Amino acid sequence: MFNLIKRIIKTGWLSFRRNGWLSVATIVILVLSISIFLGILIFNRMSKAVIQTLKEKVDVSIYFSKDTPEEDILKIREELLTRPEVSKIDYISSQRALELFTEKRKTDPLISEVLQELGENPLSPSLNIKTKNTQDYAALVDYLQNAPFKDKLTSIDLLENQKVIERLNHLGRGLNLASLLIEIILSLVAVIIAFNTIRMAIYSLREEIAIMRLVGATNSFIRWPFVINGLICALIAVFITLLIFIPLVIVFSPKVSALVPGFSLAGYFFGSFFLIFLYALLFSIFISVVSSYLAILKYLKI
Amino acid sequence: MALISFKNVTKTYQTKEGPLVVLDNISFEVAKDEFVSIVGKSGAGKTTLLKLIIAEEKPTKGRLFLEDKEINKLKGKEICLLRRRVGMVFQDFKLLADRTAFENVAFAMEVAGYPDEKIKEDVMEVLKLVGLVEKANRFPFQLSAGEKQRVAIARALIQRPDIILADEPTGNLDPINSWEIIKLLVKINELGTAVILATHVKEIINTIGKRVISLENGRIIRDEQKGKYLI
């Protein structure tokens, strides 16, 4: 058995080496297919990052009347944090709200004048609430409008965000559907191209396969060296693809970050390098080994 | 017991113009150490007859045997085992282009699972027999037509088959090389292996002086010990 395995591996390697151009053509196509596959992975991650960034920009602010004591607001904050849909709550005191406001409008002299004329801080303390999912905002608003502390509230600015949230949810679903469709189509294209190239390579060796059969080789003795050959091509193709991707990721990472704030291409690629390598390897091995196995079946009918 | 037996074998191909009978109710036997030439014009059915013996084709009617094994009933791995008992030599050599002469011959032993040492020893011995030891590491494209055919014969011989089938083995060779190949086949037969030679070269048949089966339109019209090419 060991002898047979050794012989099959040796034959597969010999066939890979001696049919140089066929091997090169197969590797090139596999590199293209793996590139499409990795492109899909990155696109998928980027689209999720876009949605996440947009979602993080959505929040609900509840404003308290100016005479509400700080400890009451903090107690309400603690209470709200126990709700399952709430992910984060920031407390902004009147003083902090004024600081933020003046910082934002420091170039506008009229605002400073108005504030000076008023002589006191006109801004209310508030809680800035973020939920885990944008769909949860509607339920949260319902709760806030009927909450036991509703008398202390002066306003809830969620209603103004409602349309944005709905659009965002719609966009998220659309993007998910689009990326799924693109993934399916491109994966199919990659698989079909690779499968056909391997099929053509094996077709060109059909005479050899016929000779092997006439000499008394069993189907598995003929088939496995081709599968091993496919495996070698798959491994080489993965290494070449990653070697191409590494400099591209380094060069394009700042540009992608500018386009999608909050997403670091290099961070994602190198942070998940082992996982990406594994995905690419499995994809490549799956395509080449399954293609070789299936393509050769046709020529093994005795 | 005869080595090969054909019993009322008919082979018909279906074509657009209707059924085409290539072999028509053929019966004959070949003994263990016999040298038999099958002669006939192109299309007489010689190649089909050889293909039936290696189970590359199945008969439409009738039965054929390798000793007591009914060839037309063999399946899967049994066919592989049959082909290891029957060496085949073709007009177009059918060598594996990406393997050296040594590797082409060795392949026939590898499929049978022989250990590497035994393969090395036997292949060199057979290459010596066909006079190709010096060119063992050459690829088919580096060999002449005669040398390629000798590699093919070495490959057919390596598993010590019960019989060698040679289908127009001199078809692509010049007269000198043709005679070398025929002499080699006769020598192999003298060493105890049965040979069936399919050819349409009159001079070769008339010089060998062995049994000749003449085919015409798929039928045996003559079967003579020490026969001549009389078509």
pLDDT in tens, B178-206: 888 899 899 999 988 999 999 888 888 88
| DSSP SS3 for B201 | coil
Looking at residues A166-183, what average pLDDT do you find?
77
CA–CA separation, A219 and A301 (whole Å): 9
CATH number of A59-158: 3.30.70.3040
Quickly tell me which residue has 């002898």 as its tokens: A3
Give pLDDT tens digits for A145-173: 888 888 888 877 765 566 666 776 777 77
**CA A84-A90-A94 angle, 5° bins:** 140
Give pLDDT tens digits for A13-48: 888 888 888 888 889 988 988 888 888 888 888 877
For residue B203, tell me if it sits in a domain: yes
Strand order in the sheet with A86-92: A86-92, A126-131, A60-64, A153-156
**CB-CB under 8 Å, A217 with B107:** yes
**CB-CB under 8 Å, A217 with B96:** no
**CB-CB under 8 Å, A302 with B55:** yes
Nearest by CB to residue A302, choosing from B79, B97, B115, is B79
Distances (CA, A) of A160 to A71, A142, B111: 28, 14, 78
Tell me the two tokens of residue B102.
């040594």
**CA neighbor of A154 nearest in space, from A127, A133, A117:** A127
Query: How far B2 CA lies from chain A's nearest CA (Å)?
Result: 23
Label the pairing between strands B35-39 and B194-199: parallel
Looking at residues A215-225, what average pLDDT do you find?
86
Instruction: Identify the residue among A4, A21, A211, A224 best suited for mutation to test binding to B, counting B beta carbons within 10 A and taking the highest.
Output: A211
**CB-CB under 8 Å, A218 with B80:** yes
HSE toward the beta carbon, residue A235, CA cutoff 13 A: 7
Q: pLDDT over 70 for what percent of chain A? A: 95
CATH code (residue B84): 3.40.50.300
**CB-CB under 8 Å, B97 with A208:** yes
**Pair B32, B87: CB distance under 8 Å:** no
ipTM over 0.90? The verdict is no
Tell me the helices (H) and strands (E) count for chain A, helix number first.
11, 4
Q: Is the overall model pTM greater than 0.90, yes or no?
A: no
Residue range of the domain that includes B202: 4-94+147-224
Predicted pLDDT of residue A100? 84
Give pLDDT tens digits for A240-287: 999 999 999 999 988 888 887 778 889 889 998 999 999 889 988 888
Q: Which residue of A has its CA nearest to B155?
A: A215
For residue B163, tell me if it sits in a domain: yes
For residue B156, tell me if it sits in a domain: yes
Q: pLDDT over 70 for what percent of chain B? A: 99
For residue B192, tell me if it sits in a domain: yes
For residue B36, tell me if it sits in a domain: yes
Distances (CA, A) of B195 to A120, B147, B161: 117, 20, 10
**Pair A200, A22: CB distance under 8 Å:** no
**Pair A40, A182: CB distance under 8 Å:** yes
CA–CA separation, B149 and B177 (whole Å): 9
Dihedral sign for Cα atoms in the order A62, A68, A71, A72: negative
Q: Which helix (H) or strand (E) holds B1?
A: none
Predicted pLDDT of residue A302? 47
Looking at residues A203-227, what average pLDDT do you find?
86
Give pLDDT tens digits for B70-86: 998 998 889 999 999 99
Query: How far B71 CA lies from chain A's nearest CA (Å)?
Result: 13
Give pLDDT tens digits for A71-111: 888 888 998 888 888 888 889 888 888 888 888 777 777 77
Buried/exposed code over A162-181 (b: 16+ C-beta within 10 A; e: otherwise): eeebeebbeebeeeeeebee
Q: pLDDT over 90 for what percent of chain B? A: 59
For residue B137, tell me if it sits in a domain: no
Quickly tell me which residue has 């600081």 as its tokens: A99
A128 burial (CB, 10 Å; 0-12 / 13-18 / 19+) is: middle
Residue-wise pLDDT tens for chain B (231 aa)? 899 999 999 999 999 888 999 999 999 999 998 999 999 888 888 999 999 999 999 999 999 999 989 998 998 889 999 999 999 999 889 999 889 999 999 998 988 888 889 999 999 999 998 888 999 999 999 999 989 999 999 999 898 899 999 999 888 888 888 888 899 899 999 988 999 999 888 888 888 888 999 999 899 999 988 777 766
For residue B102, tell me if it sits in a domain: no
Q: Which helix (H) or strand (E) holds A287?
A: helix A273-297
Nearest by CB to residue A216, choosing from B83, B103, B115, is B83
Side chain identity at residue B178, one-letter code: S
**CA neighbor of B221 nearest in space, from B30, B29, B21, B40:** B40
Q: How many domains does chain B have?
A: 1
**Domain-wise residue ranges, chain A:** 2-54+169-300, 59-158
